[in-house]
Amino acid sequence: MIPFLAVVKKELWSVYRDRTILIAVLIQLFIASFSSGLLLGVLSLYDADTIMQSGSVQIKIGLVGPAGNPLEALMQESGLQVFPYATLAEAQSAFYQNQVNAVVLIPPGIQNTAEIKLYLPDSDAISSIIRMVIQGPLKKYENVLRGQNGIDVRYTDLKGKPSTSFEFVYSVLLPMLMFFPAFVAGSMSIDSFTEELENNTMQTLLSAPLSVNGMIGAKIVSAVIISNFQCMAWLALMQLNGIVIQNVGWILLLALIVAGLTSTAAMLGAVFLKDRERSQFIYSLMLLAATGVGTLLNLSPITTISRLGIGDYYTNGWNVALFGVLLAGLTLLLLKTSRRVIV
């Protein structure tokens, strides 16, 4: 036991000494804030509700056509300002005097079908925002016309709340922060193992009272310890930011098991290939493949962790235990094959 702990201690110390682990932590911070900034900031530019809610954008639409058309009310309802004009020429000159941003032309005598025209400014930036915002009223108007044609469209009155941010936090941010350290742990296991091989220090290490399995196990354990420390820090940070996370204990255990899975799988590859270049390549391919297969079999730790985080009724420790079984199997496989290293 003592030599085992000594190797764990040495590994942790070398990570601390190199300081480059800080880069990995920084990257996670970067990706987390970058993706949330991107998703919540930029995506909202493409979401009509958010554009109108922010109130900073006042879009004025010139309307040419018979009075009392339902589209007029629908546009006002969604927050657009509507100004009626008698002819297109008048509306156009209002456009050039910056009194309206766009013009809608509705021909007279609409019965059950309509072909209207939308005149937009030439600038792509402004016209795409206007198209984004006017999309909602147009769709509703389409449903009004469908109603006149005797078609009953269901589910048109659903409201709800914009869910992007909720979905992002629990299905992207939480899994990413919990599993990225695991991904790094796998890479680190390969590095520290192949480095011993390529620097010819493996034999020296094994002359200590320590088996191959003990040495490999110590390297995996230290990688997992580092990754779980990061997970704890991220969870604390998220809670500090006011994000409610349920089942914290199970989530940490799942993160631990997944870090164990990636490190063991990575080590398995390294034991067979015995050099860094190929091991890392195969490891990244394995990660991608495992993601795909997991999704296919409906057994993805990503789904499990987001369900744990929101406190899903049907998700509990048993779902975590499933991955534990997987880890036990993989560990057994590694223990059986690790002797390849010394032959």
Partner 1 sequence: MHQILVIAWREMTRLRKRFGGSASPIAVVLLLAALGLSVFTLRNSVALGSGLYRVAVSGDVPAFQDSRFSVFHTDPAEGKALLDQHAVDVWVDGAQVQARDDDRSLFAVRALRQDLEVQELERIGGAYAPGVAFPLKVGINYFGPAPAAGQGATPSSRPEELIIPSLTPPPAPFTQVLVSMFYVLPITFISIFFTSSFMDEKVNRRLSILLSAPITPFQIIMGKMLPYASFALLTTALIAWLTHTNVLLALAIFAPTILFIFAIYLMVPLLYRTFKDTTFIAMLVTTLTSAYLVFPAMFTNTNDLAYISPLTLAVKMYRNEPFGWREYLFPSLPMAAIFGMAMFAGTRMLNEEYLMGYKPITRKLTDAIYLMMAHVSPYLSVPLWSLLVIPGVYMAQVVFLAFATNLPLRILLAAVLAAAALVEEVVKSIGIVVLAGHGQVKSTRALLALAFLSALGFLLGEKLLLLVSLSVVQQAPAAGALFGAGVFLLIPLAAHFIFTGAVTFLRVKARWPYALALGVGTLAHFIYNWVVTRGGL
Contacts to partner 1 from residues 44-83, by CB under 8 A: 45-46
Q: How far apart are CA 196 and CA 199, in angstroms?
A: 5
Contact (Cβ atoms closer than 8 angstroms) between residue 86 and residue 63:
no
With CB under 8 A as the contact rule, the residue among 285, 328, 332, 333 that binds partner 1 is 285
Q: How far apart are CA 264 and CA 189, in angstroms?
A: 8
With CB under 8 A as the contact rule, the residue among 67, 86, 158, 343 that binds partner 1 is 158
Q: How far apart are CA 193 and CA 246, in angstroms?
A: 36
By CB under 8 A, residue 199 contacts partner 1: yes
By CB under 8 A, residue 250 contacts partner 1: no
Return the range that interacts with partner 1 (CB under 8 A); candidates 229-237, 255-263, 303-311, 331-339.
Answer: 303-311
By CB under 8 A, residue 325 contacts partner 1: no
With CB under 8 A as the contact rule, the residue among 57, 114, 205, 322 that binds partner 1 is 114
Q: How far apart are CA 101 and CA 94, in angstroms?
A: 9
Contact (Cβ atoms closer than 8 angstroms) between residue 335 and residue 265:
no
Output the DSSP codes for 53-91. HH-----EEEEES-TT-HHHHHHHHTT-EEEEESSHHHH
With CB under 8 A as the contact rule, the residue among 86, 151, 342, 343 that binds partner 1 is 151
With CB under 8 A as the contact rule, the residue among 113, 240, 318, 342 that binds partner 1 is 113
With CB under 8 A as the contact rule, the residue among 3, 4, 10, 31 that binds partner 1 is 31
Q: How far apart are CA 1 and CA 195, in angstroms?
A: 23
By CB under 8 A, residue 293 contacts partner 1: yes
By CB under 8 A, residue 249 contacts partner 1: no
By CB under 8 A, residue 237 contacts partner 1: no
By CB under 8 A, residue 26 contacts partner 1: yes
With CB under 8 A as the contact rule, the residue among 54, 203, 295, 337 that binds partner 1 is 295
For partner 1, how many residues bind (rule: CB under 8 A)?
Answer: 105
Cα angle 161, 125, 123 (rounded to 5 degrees) comes to 145
By CB under 8 A, residue 195 contacts partner 1: yes
* Residue with token string 């394995």: 286
Task: Tell me how far CA of residue 263 lies from CA of 27, 182, 316, 338, in angstroms.
Answer: 20, 8, 24, 14
